[in-house]
Amino acid sequence: MAASIIELDGISLPIDLLWSDEFSWSNVSQNVKRSLTGSLVIQEAHQTKGRTITLEGDETSAWIDRTTVEALKAKYDTADLTMTLNLHGTSYNVRFKRSGNDSPLQIKEIYGLSNPDGEHIYSITLKFIEV
Contacts of 6 (CB under 8 A, 6+ apart): 12, 13, 14, 15, 17, 55, 85, 86, 87, 88
Q: How confident is the model at residue 2 (pLDDT cuts 50, 70, 90)?
A: low
User: Cα separation of 23 and 118, whole Å?
Assistant: 35
Given a cut of 60, is residue 1 above it in pLDDT? no
Q: pLDDT value at position 12?
A: 96
Q: Where are the domains of the chain?
A: 6-130
Given a cut of 80, is residue 3 above it in pLDDT? no
Express each pLDDT in 80-91 by its tens digit.
999 999 999 999
Torsion sign over Cα 96, 90, 55, 14? negative
Q: pLDDT value at position 79?
A: 95
Cα 92 to its chain centre, rounded Å, is 11
Given a cut of 80, is residue 78 above it in pLDDT? yes
- The pTM of the full predicted model, rounded to 2 decimals, is 0.84
6-130 has which CATH code? 2.40.30
Express each pLDDT in 23-60 by its tens digit.
999 889 899 999 999 999 999 999 889 999 999 999 89
Residue with more model confidence, 78 or 117: 78
Q: How confident is the model at residue 117 (pLDDT cuts 50, 70, 90)?
A: confident
Q: pLDDT value at position 113?
A: 79
Instruction: Report the pLDDT averaged over residues 106-114.
Output: 89
CB 102 within 8 A of CB 52: no
